[in-house]
């Protein structure tokens, strides 16, 4: 299975609804590495690295998010593979 890294910008009602924490839980469940953080303009930025099948599942989850989230868009960009240790929340 090919390994990929995808950078995401998630917009909508995504801050103050536990989006980062829920994304971290989902990523760890799918055995992905990377990070998630809030941006100054109200979006959430994500880097996810792993096998393509798990990345695809994670991207579907990003469109749903936690219960209180309201997703407007998920913009993705493929990046070169990065060997990361864990999936962390950047504060």
Residue 1 is predicted with a pLDDT of 74
Asked if residues 62 and 46 have their Cβ atoms less than 8 Å apart, the reply is yes
**What is the CATH architecture of 3-90?**
2-Layer Sandwich (3.30)
Residues of the chain where predicted confidence (pLDDT) is lower than 50: none
Residue 16 is predicted with a pLDDT of 96
For 1-91, list the strands marked E by DSSP.
3-13, 33-38, 44-51, 70-79, 87-90
What global pTM score does this model have?
A: 0.96
Q: Is 20 a catalytic residue?
A: yes
Q: Is 43 a catalytic residue?
A: no
Residue 2 is predicted with a pLDDT of 85
What's the token pair of residue 1? 């299975």
């Amino acid at each position: 299975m090919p390994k990929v890294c995808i950078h995401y910008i998630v917009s909508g009602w995504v801050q103050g609804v536990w989006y980062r924490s829920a994304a971290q839980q989902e990523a760890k469940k799918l055995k992905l590495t990377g990070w998630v953080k809030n941006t100054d303009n109200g979006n959430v930025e994500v880097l996810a690295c792993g096998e393509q099948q798990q990345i695809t599942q994670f991207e579907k989850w990003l469109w749903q998010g936690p219960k209180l989230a309201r997703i407007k868009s998920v913009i993705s960009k493929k990046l070169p593979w990065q060997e990361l240790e864990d999936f962390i929340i950047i504060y």
